[in-house]
């Protein structure tokens, strides 16, 4: 570990409706890497991402982005620092067009040239979005909406992309296409923190994985190593 981490989380605790959900969580994301967080439903994965993007105010601990403390800032300010969040359930703006969704994804960009650059990157990654630009986002299929949600988040050219269950409820054919796009992100300058119920695929593409159980990181290591570990094989792969 020579390079300083892009994201450095330590001692993070968070509550949901007063009940503690995260306990003393430590996670690091290296620049240009894919890091996976796996765990059962209710383990705190979504709350972790929401705390990182500012949608949930952490009750303790530290979140550093390239050394700068961002814990406690509001979500709209954290986006400007280069962290984009694709929430679980996609949360696209169904009543707006695909083009308008993408425009808002680039809301923090200052000029048309950067917007145009971002659009060409997103359309290159998901050509379908170009064809559907004028369509109301709510009329897209689930998989297409997920592409739009990821594309929209990438419009701000984030250094870190938080991806919450991108394949949940998506047709298998589209799952492969989504993962093809996700593995290309580091080469575009975007590191990925991936929360995924599809444990095998997630750990295969991740350089580092973390296992979250009832709000605690109980195991971490290189993705391939975790795939071979007894804990992951028994609890998450069922073998």
Partner 1 sequence: MEIVAQTVASGVLLGLILALSAAGLTLIWGVMDIVNFAHGDFLMLGMYASFFAWAVLGLDPLLALPGVVAALGLFGVVVYLGVIRPVLRGSVLAQIFATFGLGILLRGVAQFVFTADYRQIGDTMATGSFAVGPVHLGLPQTIAALGALIVSGLLFALLDRTTVGTALRATAEDRSAAELMGIDTRRMFALAWAVGAGCVGAAAGLLAIYFPIFPDVGAVFGLLAFVTVALGGFGSVGGAMLAGVLIGVVTSVAGLIFDPAYKFTVAYLLYLVVLVIRPQGLLGRA
Binding site for partner 1 (CB under 8 A): 53-55, 74-76, 79-80, 84-85, 87, 91-96, 100, 103-105, 107-108, 152-153, 156
| Residue nearer to partner 1 on the CB measure, 71 or 220 | 71
Tell me the closest approach of the beta carbon of residue 87 to partner 1, in angstroms. 7
| Residue nearer to partner 1 on the CB measure, 36 or 83 | 83
- Strands (E) in the chain, as ranges, are 7-16, 19-29, 34-38, 60-65, 68-69, 83-86, 160-164, 191-195, 208-213, 216-222
Tell me the closest approach of the beta carbon of residue 100 to partner 1, in angstroms. 5
> Exposed, middle or buried, 113 (CB in 10 Å: 0-12/13-18/19+)?
exposed
Tell me the closest approach of the beta carbon of residue 74 to partner 1, in angstroms. 7
> Exposed, middle or buried, 233 (CB in 10 Å: 0-12/13-18/19+)?
middle
Q: Would you state the structure tokens that stand for residue 235, as one six-digit string?
A: 């609890």
| Residue nearer to partner 1 on the CB measure, 89 or 221 | 89
Nearest alpha-carbon partner for 39 in 228, 239, 214, 169: 214
| Residue nearer to partner 1 on the CB measure, 44 or 82 | 82
Residue holding tokens 């808002």? 104
Q: Would you state the structure tokens that stand for residue 98, as one six-digit string?
A: 């695909």
| Residue nearer to partner 1 on the CB measure, 91 or 184 | 91
| Residue nearer to partner 1 on the CB measure, 29 or 153 | 153
Tell me the closest approach of the beta carbon of residue 62 to partner 1, in angstroms. 22
Tell me the closest approach of the beta carbon of residue 136 to partner 1, in angstroms. 12
Neighbouring CB atoms inside 10 A of 73's CB total: 17
Q: Would you state the structure tokens that stand for residue 191, as one six-digit string?
A: 């590191």
Tell me the closest approach of the beta carbon of residue 134 to partner 1, in angstroms. 14
Q: How far apart are CA 84 and CA 104, in angstroms?
A: 12
């Amino acid at each position: 570990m020579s390079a300083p981490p892009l994201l450095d989380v330590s001692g993070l605790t968070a509550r949901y409706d007063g009940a503690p959900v995260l306990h003393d969580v430590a996670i690091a994301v290296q620049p240009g890497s894919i890091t996976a967080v796996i765990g059962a439903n209710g383990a705190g994965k979504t709350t972790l991402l929401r705390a990182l993007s500012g949608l949930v105010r952490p009750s303790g601990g530290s979140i550093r982005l390239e050394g700068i403390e961002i814990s406690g800032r509001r979500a709209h300010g954290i986006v400007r620092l280069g962290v984009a969040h694709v929430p679980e359930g996609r949360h696209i703006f169904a009543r707006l067009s695909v083009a308008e969704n993408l425009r808002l994804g680039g809301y923090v960009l200052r000029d048309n040239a950067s917007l145009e650059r971002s659009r060409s990157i997103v359309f290159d990654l998901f050509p379908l979005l170009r064809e559907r630009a004028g369509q109301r986002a709510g009329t897209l299929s689930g998989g297409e909406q997920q592409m739009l949600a990821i594309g929209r988040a990438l419009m701000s050219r984030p250094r870190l992309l938080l991806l919450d269950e991108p394949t949940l409820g998506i047709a298998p054919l589209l799952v492969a296409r989504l993962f093809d796009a996700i593995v290309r992100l580091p080469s575009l300058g975007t590191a990925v923190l991936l929360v995924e119920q599809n444990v095998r695929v997630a750990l295969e593409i991740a350089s580092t994985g973390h296992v979250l159980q009832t709000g605690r990181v109980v195991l971490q290591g290189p993705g391939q190593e975790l795939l071979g570990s007894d804990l992951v094989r028994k609890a998450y792969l069922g073998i």
